[in-house]
A and B are shown apart, each in its own frame.
Chain A
């Protein structure tokens, strides 16, 4: 038996392919939305992996440093280093800010770290690691910075000495790594006018500028300009110890919050991007419904255009299941063309997106199954219409 669906498709392939392309672009948008979500999750995982930490120690009762603000003293790490199971502990700061690059501003996450300690970028794609204590930076390639370029963070210029890749914040902002001390200063550094005004206010405060207490005002002023806070301490656990046990000990004795990798992943994925995930989920549902409606409409219209032929086919003895099969195969064919076009489109345009779009094969396979199921369901309307056709309509009036 010849394939009626195949022949019909070949007969009007132009219309069919164009419809498939239109549907494919919609499926491509759907795949891309799923890819955006996967990209956000992957960014979060990469962020945690690249930090090189087993435990994140942050301010008590906060979910910092990525999901909430966290501030702890920069000497906490010393106490942590003395605890059993802690192999390494290092201060880090995270500050999302605009970095001046030539005539433009670029939104980045500035990370302060200590070279050789957790928090340092895991690998470089160009240049070298930080060797000097100040005014050198390593930037993610997504910033567009080049080796040797000078960028401005707050009031200081930094030379880009290294480039790294896939180092972005959970919000997708590329990272710029600078020495910890510089980053601490940058977090609280004020402009000259503000410093002068603060000093004047302090001097005018009789409690801080007491007659007969020489040096008090200078000490107070000095303390106001030095920042002894960091956002988190990254801890590496020694061999033979589990992160969960060490984190529990830290929480018990140090009056800070300590998160293991799994807990931090939970915060980033289940909480920080939860709203975005729901948003994307809604889009996916809407796009799926729209795709189904389009397939149903197209297949229904194509079937209505063949009512007389269907009546003739039924009159000359074609089984209902042959006619239903023809319509179903056309719907599935349309879905297959749509899926192929969608997958190719999504693959082509994904790199152009400002945020990382991760197109997973498993998602594509799931999408293929969903597309086929949706197309099959969408064809039922047309199949019903075809099966209702009275073969008698082929004869006379």
Chain B
């Protein structure tokens, strides 16, 4: 089986009976390692629900999800394959949020190094990995700074470094460019493309942002819980 992320027939229903809401209906997606795809759709279309299912935060009602070549969820075989979803999220899924949500009481290095530390790696090795990522993302010069001392763009780059810290096969980015201006937003997308390519990570970018949508080579449109795939413009970012 291919690495990356594969979703087959994923559905999520909230509630029961007359009040039940089908938030996701037979969603199918496939993202190869090193690929960055966009997930776009209006508010209430099911983007966040899909992200939460992929992020092992909520349990789908039906379907199958494969991550990095391993089945992580299969409703036909009892649901989640691992009881420790916390470890699954920590080791195999990277998260980038709309706001960077860096831990304010940790410096930049430790914000990134925290994930490997949580995974049981030694502090020195974790910090070394963090510095390597900060270097790659061109924020190594702020390694000892507190998050509050960084610009918005720098904070988002640190949050990307954090998402990559445990070398997950997939990163889920929830509107990562929303608070940024055009230049910074495009810079973030360029970085995501570089990182996806460099670390062979599949990245799903949930976005409303018209500025960055043309940069995706593949886009999943989601409406009323169903996805439609289409080719993107794949516009080069200068």
Chains A and B form a bound pair: yes
Select one of B57, B101, B119 contacting A309, CB under 8 A.
B101
A395 within 8 Å of B (CB atoms): yes
Closest to A12 in B: B105
Contact A1 B106 (CB under 8 A): no
B48 touches A396 (CB 8 A): yes
Chain A, interface size category, equals: 20 to 34
A254 is an interface residue with CB less than 8 A from chain B: no
Contacts of B55 in A (CB 8 A): 315, 395
B222 at the interface (CB under 8 A from A): no
Known contacts A312-B103, A316-B89, A317-B91; A396 and B118 CB within 8 A of each other: no
B90 contacts the other chain (Cβ, under 8 Å)?
A: yes
Chain B hits for A314, CB < 8 A: 86
Q: Which residue numbers of A lie inside 8 Å of B, CB to CB?
A: 1-2, 4, 7-8, 10-12, 308-309, 312-319, 322, 390-392, 394-397
Q: List 17 A-B contacts (CB under 8 A).
A: A2-B106, A2-B110, A4-B106, A8-B105, A12-B105, A309-B103, A312-B97, A316-B90, A316-B95, A316-B114, A392-B57, A395-B48, A395-B55, A395-B57, A395-B172, A396-B52, A396-B98
Q: Which residues of B contact A315 (CB under 8 A)?
A: 55, 57, 89, 95
Contact A317 B89, beta carbon cutoff 8 Å: yes
- Give A12 to B104 CA distance when docked, in angstroms: 10
With both beta carbons as reference points, the residue of chain B lying nearest to A393 in the complex is identified as B57
The 8 Å CB contact of B105, one of A11, A312, A397, is A11
Name the contact of A312 in the complex, choosing from B48, B58, B101, B123 (C-beta under 8 A). B101
Residue pair A317, B118 in contact (C-beta under 8 Å) = yes
With a cutoff of 8 Å between Cβ atoms, the chain A residues found around residue B158 in the complex are: none
Cβ of B162 under 8 Å from chain A = yes
Point out the residues of chain B lying under 8 angstroms from A8, CB to CB. 105
Q: In the complex, A290→B155 CA distance in Å?
A: 41
Chain A interface secondary structure, helix, strand, loop or mixed? helix
The CA of A397 and the CA of B99, in the complex, are separated in Å by: 12
Bound form: Cα–Cα A8–B110 in Å? 13
Given A312-B101, A317-B118, A396 contacting B51 (CB threshold 8 A):
yes
Q: Quick check: B52 and A392 within 8 Å, CB to CB?
A: yes
Is B136 engaged at the interface, CB distance under 8 Å to the other chain? no
Is residue B117 within 8 Å, beta carbon to beta carbon, of the partner chain?
A: yes
Task: Check B58 against A392 for contact (C-beta < 8 Å).
Answer: yes
B47 at the interface (CB under 8 A from A): yes
- For residue B174, CB closer than 8 A to chain A, the reply is yes
List, in ascending order, chain B residues with CB within 8 A of A1's CB. Answer: 117-118, 123
Query: CA–CA, A351 to B174, complex, Å?
Result: 63
Within 8 A of A (CB), among B80-128: 86-87, 89-91, 95, 97-98, 101, 103-106, 110, 113-115, 117-119, 123
